[in-house]
Amino acid sequence: MAGLSEPYNESFLPLIQKYYSLEAIAREPWHSDTILFLPSKNQMFIENGGAESIATSIYLSLLNLNHEIRYVKNVNEMSPSGKGPLLKCGKYSIGEFEPIVNFCNLKGYRLLANYLDNSKKTEIKSYILLIQKAFSETIEYLLWKNNSVQKVIKESFNQNYSWPLNHILYLNEFYFNRNKLVSNKIWNLEKLEVLEKFRETNDCLNKKLEGSLYLIGNNMTEADILLFSYLKVLHLYSDFDETLNLLHDFRNINDFYANMSRKLQNILMEKLELN
């Protein structure tokens, strides 16, 4: 791996090596016409509220990497991984938050907090996985097992596609998420059980934030950006009020959210048009 910038995430390499030379990625400069494709705004809701889309734009902006945001209805179909958001940088197309982060790392762009020893890098990875699992499973459960929310989701497909494609795509999305939740042993749980699992994870995160601005050390990491983005989603959509209410007693998480909101206010408003 001579010539590669460190650190990089080895779990990311098999995927990207299928398509690109790692050394070529490391050599090429960041393209000024880079585009970040996000789900259209009326589809963002069903993509975990757009948490990974928010996190990706925040990450690129903190690194001062130029990127134009384009909202498209078929970002998942465009992405080589089958999931958005999608980064188009020169000849490279990279899908999803963590692979995009590692693509940037390979090119030598990283947050200061990434200059850490291997144990800290592993800890960051562990928190990213914990946050993704707890928040995405809870949000997906609330999205796909709620009849009133299903009406909103169906309408978003009706607005973007004509019959019968709208119906086919909706069913594909429904059964994909249902099967994933069944596989993860979430689908058949009662809502109170799902919310309790969510509360337990956030109790751990709340304790981790005790006396600290961030999850790991004194510098912001990708894990902090992802946690903030999921919390932002809970604040954006009233459909997730039950989860937000569970967090009211977690002072450290609420302080973390308020601190990150102040730091990222300009990015949220200028790039994503979020208040």
Contact indicator for 68, 99 with CB cutoff of 8 Å:
no
CA 189/CA 91 separation, integer angstroms = 44
Query: Is the pTM value of this prediction over 0.75?
Result: yes
List pLDDT tens digits, range 135-186: 999 999 999 998 888 888 888 888 888 999 999 988 998 998 999 999 999 9
List pLDDT tens digits, range 27-59: 888 999 999 999 887 777 777 668 999 999 999
Contact indicator for 252, 206 with CB cutoff of 8 Å:
yes
Sequence ranges of the domains in the chain: 10-113, 116-266
Is the pLDDT reported for residue 117 higher than 80? no
Confidence of residue 12 (pLDDT cuts 50, 70, 90): very low
Angle at 94 between CA 90 and CA 95, to 5 degrees: 145
CA 172/CA 208 separation, integer angstroms = 38
Residue with the larger pLDDT of the pair 246 and 22:
246
Average pLDDT estimate for 268-273:
81
pLDDT score at 10: 42
pLDDT score at 22: 67
- Any residues with CB less than 8 A from the CB of 267 and at least 6 apart, and which? 57, 58, 61, 62
Is the pLDDT reported for residue 83 higher than 80? yes
pLDDT score at 84: 85
Is the pLDDT reported for residue 1 higher than 60? no
pLDDT score at 76: 81
Tell me yes or no: is domain 116-266 CATH 1.20.1050.10. yes
The CATH class, in words, for 10-113 is: alpha beta
Angle at 81 between CA 103 and CA 273, to 5 degrees: 70
Q: Do domains 10-113 and 116-266 have the same CATH topology?
A: no
pLDDT score at 28: 84
pLDDT score at 263: 93
Confidence of residue 11 (pLDDT cuts 50, 70, 90): very low
The percent of residues in the chain predicted with pLDDT above 90, rounded, is 50
- What are the residues facing 37 on neighbouring strands? 70, 86
CA 141/CA 197 separation, integer angstroms = 12
Q: What is the mean pLDDT of the chain?
A: 86
Confidence of residue 115 (pLDDT cuts 50, 70, 90): low
